[in-house]
């Protein structure tokens, strides 16, 4: 029997690209009852996924992987020819920032479509999931239509939150379909409704629109979230200069329904594989369109975000006096909790800056130590917070894992050389730490 989440329509689906987005999407689609093949050129990644092991940490993904593989509805391969068995093809490859600028690197998307088109047939629907510069879908649609008569391109942006990606795929808060005008677009939208039948049946909002709007939905959402975070961090700078408390400020303005409290947490700023590179690529695309002034504010958003990292380094220096030789305990390496993602991680960046300045940095994270140690071998790594803080001159908390926010100030105080803590996420109770005779420093507090 099917679970309540499973679709009553079983589609044959291929997912091109089995990184973070693609692996989650493939496993989730199979969990919903579809027959899915995940395709990637990385043999190691495919081997791990085929064995039911995720190449990265994402809560819930191992269970969905294992059950979907066991059911026979999910398999992985490096052979693009396997896509010929499918009728709907999701392209979920990365669009990193180019090495010599801010624009998105489209080589992987272009290569994926070029190879995939060798194996699709008339009537197939190709669906872009990658975050791309506006105008990409229209360009690729011409390629699809000229290569395979009767095939159609749709654009279906993702809105995943790392740490909640499986839930966000199975039960999305909205679905956006960018489709061409006319019968082909209507048919593509109907097919996507069948793919997401369980979500549609429960009333998930569905927005059917044109290619450009679908592309802009994703990048504009990320730009807005980044702006909101940098706004409250700009207020943190003012709060520090005036003696105000930015956390209470955020609580007060967050009660305004027009503003809301979410994403108004001042701290060391945003990172990860989406927001930083997406706002830069969005600005670069606006300049290409002759509309650079429309998004000029995103440059300041980026600068504010990076200044918060500088501020944490300054706070450490203020606490220890001289960075050279200081023993710094770094709690957190991933860019956010419930993830092992260290891409553009503020925590790892600050740790590396401190080490470059001569500090002895002992870092820990529940999931990101392995990936961080490959990226930053100059740091020392500990298996637990207790091990990291032993004999520390200062403790720096930069990823708000429950394991760190729940630490007992008195117990930790018995392990350190000096009771000094910098709360880079404003996630601790200052009164509790000060009561335990700690010097507490937050951002904007």
Cα torsion through 327, 333, 335, 341, rounded to 10? 160
In this structure, what token pair is assigned to residue 161?
């939150």
Q: How many CB atoms lie within 10 A of CB 405?
A: 16
Catalytic residue among 126, 274, 330, 443: 274
374 touches 393 (CB < 8 A):
no
Q: What is the DSSP letter of 148?
A: S
Q: Sheet containing 360-364: give its strands across.
A: 380-381, 360-364, 327-331, 394-397, 420-423, 439-442
Q: Contact at 8 Å (CB) between 443 and 308?
A: yes
Dist. CA 435–CA 429, nearest whole Å: 10
Could you give the dihedral angle defined by the CA atoms of residues 388, 395, 235 and 304, in that order, rounded to the nearest 10 degrees? -60
Q: In angstroms, rounded to a whole number, what is the distance separating the alpha carbons of residues 299 and 296? A: 6
- Distance separating alpha carbons of residues 405 and 330, to the nearest angstrom: 13
Residue 62: C-alpha distances to residues 55, 56, 66, 103 (Å): 10, 10, 6, 34
Q: Is 18 a catalytic residue?
A: no
Nearest residue to 153 (alpha-carbon basis) of 95, 107, 214, 93 = 214
Residues serving a catalytic function are 274
């Amino acid at each position: 029997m099917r679970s309540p989440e499973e679709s009553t329509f079983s589609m044959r689906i291929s997912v091109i690209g089995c990184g973070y987005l693609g692996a989650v999407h493939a496993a989730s689609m199979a969990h919903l009852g579809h027959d899915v093949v995940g395709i990637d050129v990385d043999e190691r990644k495919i081997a791990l996924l085929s064995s039911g092991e995720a190449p990265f940490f994402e809560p819930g993904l191992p269970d969905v992987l294992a059950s979907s593989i066991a059911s026979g509805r999910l398999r992985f391969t490096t052979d693009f020819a396997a896509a010929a068995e499918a009728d709907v093809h999701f392209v979920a490859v990365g669009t990193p920032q180019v090495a010599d600028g801010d624009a998105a690197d489209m080589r992987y998307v272009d290569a994926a479509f070029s190879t995939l088109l060798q194996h699709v047939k008339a009537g197939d629907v190709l669906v872009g999931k990658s975050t791309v510069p506006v105008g990409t879908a229209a360009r690729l649609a011409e390629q699809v239509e000229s290569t395979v008569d009767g095939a159609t391109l749709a654009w279906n942006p993702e809105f995943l939150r790392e740490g909640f990606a499986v839930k966000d795929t199975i039960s999305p808060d909205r679905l956006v379909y960018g489709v061409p005008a006319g019968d082909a677009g209507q048919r593509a939208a109907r097919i996507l409704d069948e793919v997401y039948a369980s979500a549609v049946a429960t009333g998930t909002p569905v927005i059917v629109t044109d290619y450009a709007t679908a592309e802009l939905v994703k990048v504009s959402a990320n730009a807005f979230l980044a702006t909101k975070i940098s706004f409250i961090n700009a207020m943190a700078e003012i709060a520090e200069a005036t003696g105000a408390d930015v956390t209470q400020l955020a609580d007060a303005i967050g009660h305004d329904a027009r503003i809301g409290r979410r994403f108004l947490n001042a701290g060391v700023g945003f990172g990860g594989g989406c927001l930083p590179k997406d706002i830069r690529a969005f600005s670069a695309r606006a300049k290409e369109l002759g509309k650079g002034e429309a998004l000029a504010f995103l440059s300041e958003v980026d600068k504010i975000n990076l200044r918060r990292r500088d501020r944490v380094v300054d706070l450490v220096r203020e606490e220890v006096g001289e960075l050279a030789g200081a023993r710094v305990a770094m709690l957190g390496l991933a860019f956010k909790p419930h993830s092992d993602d260290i891409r553009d991680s503020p925590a790892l960046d600050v740790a590396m800056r401190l080490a470059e300045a001569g500090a002895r940095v002992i870092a820990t994270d529940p999931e990101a130590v392995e990936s961080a140690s490959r990226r930053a071998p100059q740091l020392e790594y500990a298996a637990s917070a207790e091990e990291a803080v032993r004999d520390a001159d200062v403790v720096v908390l930069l990823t708000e894992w429950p394991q760190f926010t729940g630490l007992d100030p008195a117990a930790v105080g018995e392990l350190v050389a000096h009771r000094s803590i910098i709360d880079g996420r404003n996630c601790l109770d200052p009164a509790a730490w000060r009561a335990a005779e700690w010097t507490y420093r937050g951002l904007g507090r």
